[in-house]
Structure 1
Amino acid sequence: MIKIAIDAMGGDFAPEEIVKGIEIARDRYPELAFELYGTEEAVRPLIQNFDRLTLVPTTEVIEMGEEPVKAMKNKTDSSMVRAAQAVKNGEADAFFSAGNTGAILSSAIFIVGRIKGVDRPALASALPSFGGPNDSFVFMDLGANAENKPSHLYQYGILGSFYAGSVMGIKQPRVRLLNNGGEEDKGDDTHKAAHQLMKQTASFNFLGNVEAREILEGTADVVVADGFSGNATLKAIEGTAMTMLDQLKSAIKGSGIRGMLGALLLKPALKSLKHELDFNDQGGAVVLGVKAPVIKTHGSAKASAVANSMGQIQTMVKEDLVGKTTTFIKENADALKAKKIEK
C-alpha cells in the first residue's frame, strides 16, 4: 500500500476541495492510503468515509501570503510541515499540498531533503503540446528558484530530460532553453552562458533557444527556464487559455440560433480542447531533485485536480522515480558539475 501525506489545509478551497478530491482518489486508486494533516474541527466533518484514510490533527496553518521559510520554521505543527515530516520519517511515501508554493518548496528541500548532487531542486510540470510527436512536454523551473546560475539551468536540462524519458516515455527528449529570441547570442549573461553549457554537453539533446510563443507548438520535449520566467510564462498561458475559452463561449451565446447549432456540432472538439487547457483536469507540478515524491498542485485547484494528482503520485512511486533519479545522478556526477563559465 502506498501512503500519501496530505496537507489538507493548503489551497484556496481547502479543506473542502482537498477532502473531496482525496475521497475521489480513494475510490479510484485501491492501492493508495491517505494521511490527512489538518485542523480536526475543520476537516473531520467533511470526511464521508474513513476507509484507507486517516486524519492527523494539527493546530497551525501556513497561509498563502506568509514568508515561506519563516512560516516553515515557526509553524512546526502546521499541516504542511507535519505532512512533510511524515515523509522524512518514513511514515509516508509522498507529500502533497496545494498551499503556499514557497513553503512547499522549503519543506521539500529542508525537511524531505535534497538529493546529493542536485544544486537546486526545481518545480516541473507537463504541459500540453499541440504539435510535434508527443502530447505533452516538461516545463521547468516553474518558480522554485526566482534567480538561477547557468549551471542550475544546465542541471534542469539533465533532470528534465531524465524525467521526460523515464516517466513520460519520450525517447531522446528534445531540450530547449526559454529565451527572448532563438538566436544563440540572445538573452542576458546568465542565459548566454547557460546556452553554451547546454550546447557543449553530451548529456542531453539540446536544440537551442525557444521563445515563449512557441513552447506549446511541439518544438521541444523539455523547456528549461529560470524560475521567474517559467512561473510568469505558465500563468500567462493559463490566464490566456481560460480567457479565450470564456470569450469563445460568450461569442457563441451571442451569435443566435446558427451559432448555437454550430456549437452543438463542435461540442466534442470544444470539450476536448477545454480538457487540454484546464489545469483542474491535469495533475500537479513535481519537485524534482528531492528524496521523495513531492507534488504541488495549483492553489485554486478543485477536487478533480487533487484526485488526478494522487494518480500521478501513484505512478511516480511505482516507477521508483526518486530511486532512479538518485542512481542517475550518481552515475552522471561529472556531467552535473557544469563547467565554470558563469559570470
Structure 2
Amino acid sequence: MITISIDAMGGDHGPSVTVPALDRVIERRPEVRFLVFGLEDQVRPWLAKYPRVSAASTFVPCEIAVGMSDKPSQALRQGRWKSSMWKSIEAVKSGEAAVCISAGNTGALMAMSKFCLRTMANIERPAIAAIWPNARAEGVVLDVGATIGADSHQLIDFAILGAAMARALFSIEKPTVGLLNVGVEEIKGQEEVKEAGRLLREADLPSMSYHGFVEGDDISKGTVDVVVTEGFAGNIALKTAEGTARQIGGYLRAAMSRTWRARIGYLFAKPAFERLREKMDVRKSNGGVFLGLNGIVVKSHGGTDEEGFAAAIELGYDMVRTRLIERIKGDLDAFHSRLPQAMMKLRQPVDETEQQRI
C-alpha cells in the first residue's frame, strides 16, 4: 500500500479537478491511499460526491491555499506550516506519505519543497524532470525550469538524477545520456557544458552510458534516453514543444473540417488520427518530477484536467514503487567515489596524438 499526499487546492481548478482525479486513480490502483489537504469548505463537498475517494482518503483541513500568482517568497511567508501545499510536502518529510502531488504554483512548490525536504547530500540544486514523447518511445529531459543556469558539476548532478529516473521508469539498466549543446562536436558550446562532458566520459559511471553532446532535434528523435540541460533552455524547449503540438492539432482539425470530402476522409482515417492524438496527448506524461530532494514531489500542469492530474499521481506512484530515491543516492555515491580519478585523468598532459586530433 502506498500513501500519496495531495494538495487539493493546487492548479487553476482546485478540488473540482483534483478530487475526481483521485477517483480515476483508485479505479486503476485500488491499493493506493491518500492524504488530502485543502480548505474544508471547498474540499468536503467534492469528497461527498465521491464516496470511493472518501473511503480511501484522510482529509486534513488547512487555513490557506497558495495562489497561482503568488511569489515564492510570499508563499513561504504566508503559507509555511499552514497551507495545503506546505502540509502536503511536510507529510512526505514526516513519512506519513511516500510522495506529494500538486498542480499549484511551480515557484512556490519548488521553494517550499527545498525548504521542507532539503536537497540530497552533494546536490547543489534540484531539477525538474519531464517525460518527453519521442520517435522511439519516451525519454527524460531535465532541467525544465527549476533553476536558471548551471555549472559543470550541477549538469553532472542532473545527468545522474535523470539516469536514475530513466532506470526506474523505463527499466533500462544503463540509460544513454546526452548533454544538450549547440552542436555535437566536442569543441562547441559553453565551457561548463564541455567540462561536464569530459568529466562524465572519464568517470564512466556504471549507472549510465554517456553519449556525448546532442542537439535540439535529438530530443524528439529519441537519440538518447536522457537529455540534460540547464533550466532556461529546458523550459523554452518544453514550452516550444507543447505549443508546436497544439499548433499541429489545430492545423489537422481545420484541414479535416474544411470540405465535405475532407470530413468523409476523416471518418475513414479516424483510427489513425486517434492513435496520433494519443501519442501527442500531454496529459499522459503530465507531471514534472522534482529530483535531488530528500523526498519525491510531482508537479502537475496548472491547467490540467482530471485525467492529467491522475496521470501525475500515477507517475508519483511509479517513482515510489521503483524506489527512485534509493537509486539516486546509490548513483551519487558511485560518481563521487570515481570523481577524484576522473579529475586526475583530466589534469594529465594531453599526448601529441590527442593534440593533433583536437
Q: TM-score by structure 1 length?
A: 0.92
In structure 2, do the counterparts of structure 1 residues 339 and 102 end up closer, same or farther at CA, with 3 Å as the change threshold? Answer: farther
SS class of match (1:96): strand
For residues 210-261 of structure 1, give each alpha carbon's deviation from its aligned partner in whole angstroms, at most 9, with x where no partner exists: 222231112111100101110110010011101111111111100x222122
The structural deviation recorded for 1:318 is: 1.9
Residues 155-164 or 326-335, more deviating: 326-335
Partner amino acid for 1:42?
Q
Q: TM-score by structure 2 length?
A: 0.88
CA distance in 2, matches of 1:178, 1:247: 30
2:260 pairs, out of 239, 244, 257, with 257
What residue number does 2:279 align with?
Answer: 276
The structural deviation recorded for 1:155 is: 1.6
Instruction: Establish whether residue 60 from structure 1 lines up as the match of residue 64 from structure 2.
Output: yes
| Cα pair 2:186 2:194 within 8 Å, conserved | yes
CA distance in 1, matches of 2:104, 2:338: 34
For residues 297-339 of structure 1, give each alpha carbon's deviation from its aligned partner in whole angstroms, at most 9, with x where no partner exists: 1111111011122222222222222123223323443246785
What residue number does 1:213 align with?
Answer: 217
What residue number does 2:158 align with?
Answer: 156
The structural deviation recorded for 1:19 is: 1.3
Residues 290-299 or 215-224, more deviating: 290-299
CA distance in 1, matches of 2:284, 2:161: 25
What residue number does 1:303 align with?
Answer: 306
1:79 pairs, out of 80, 84, 96, with 84
CA distance in 2, matches of 1:265, 1:199: 51
What residue number does 1:242 align with?
Answer: 246
For residues 46-75 of structure 1, give each alpha carbon's deviation from its aligned partner in whole angstroms, at most 9, with x where no partner exists: 122211122211111212222214412431
Residues 99-108 or 139-148, more deviating: 99-108
Partner amino acid for 1:202?
D
The 5 A counterparts of 1:41-52 are: 41-47=41-47, 48=49, 49=51, 50-52=54-56
In structure 2, do the counterparts of structure 1 residues 75 and 206 end up closer, same or farther at CA, with 3 Å as the change threshold? Answer: same
Instruction: Establish whether residue 317 from structure 1 lines up as the match of residue 310 from structure 2.
Output: no
In structure 2, do the counterparts of structure 1 residues 336 and 28 end up closer, same or farther at CA, with 3 Å as the change threshold? Answer: farther
CA distance in 1, matches of 2:185, 2:67: 42
| Cα pair 1:40 1:58 within 8 Å, conserved | yes
For residues 176-205 of structure 1, give each alpha carbon's deviation from its aligned partner in whole angstroms, at most 9, with x where no partner exists: 111222222222333233333334330232
What residue number does 2:131 align with?
Answer: 126
5+ residue gaps, structure 2, are 347-358
In our comparison, the structure showing a higher alpha carbon Rg is 2
SS class of match (1:185): coil
In structure 2, do the counterparts of structure 1 residues 297 and 83 end up closer, same or farther at CA, with 3 Å as the change threshold? Answer: same
What residue number does 2:295 align with?
Answer: 292
Instruction: Establish whether residue 223 from structure 1 lines up as the match of residue 227 from structure 2.
Output: yes
SS class of match (1:207): strand
What residue number does 2:4 align with?
Answer: 4
In structure 2, do the counterparts of structure 1 residues 79 and 222 end up closer, same or farther at CA, with 3 Å as the change threshold? Answer: same
In structure 2, do the counterparts of structure 1 residues 330 and 189 end up closer, same or farther at CA, with 3 Å as the change threshold? Answer: closer
Residues 112-121 or 190-199, more deviating: 190-199
CA distance in 1, matches of 2:72, 2:339: 28
For residues 142-190 of structure 1, give each alpha carbon's deviation from its aligned partner in whole angstroms, at most 9, with x where no partner exists: 1111121111111211221222123311243221111222222222333
CA distance in 2, matches of 1:160, 1:16: 33
Aligned alpha-carbon RMSD (Å): 2.0
CA distance in 1, matches of 2:185, 2:69: 39
The structural deviation recorded for 1:108 is: 2.1
| Cα pair 2:179 2:229 within 8 Å, conserved | yes
SS class of match (2:308): helix
| Cα pair 1:155 1:336 within 8 Å, conserved | no
CA distance in 1, matches of 2:184, 2:175: 19
Instruction: Establish whether residue 200 from structure 1 lines up as the match of residue 202 from structure 2.
Output: yes
| Cα pair 2:37 2:87 within 8 Å, conserved | yes
The structural deviation recorded for 1:82 is: 1.0
SS class of match (1:13): coil
SS class of match (2:172): coil
Partner amino acid for 2:72?
P
In structure 2, do the counterparts of structure 1 residues 101 and 251 end up closer, same or farther at CA, with 3 Å as the change threshold? Answer: same
CA distance in 2, matches of 1:335, 1:118: 16
| Cα pair 1:137 1:220 within 8 Å, conserved | yes
Instruction: Establish whether residue 111 from structure 1 lines up as the match of residue 116 from structure 2.
Output: yes
CA distance in 2, matches of 1:185, 1:317: 40
SS class of match (2:100): strand
CA distance in 2, matches of 1:126, 1:292: 19
SS class of match (2:217): helix
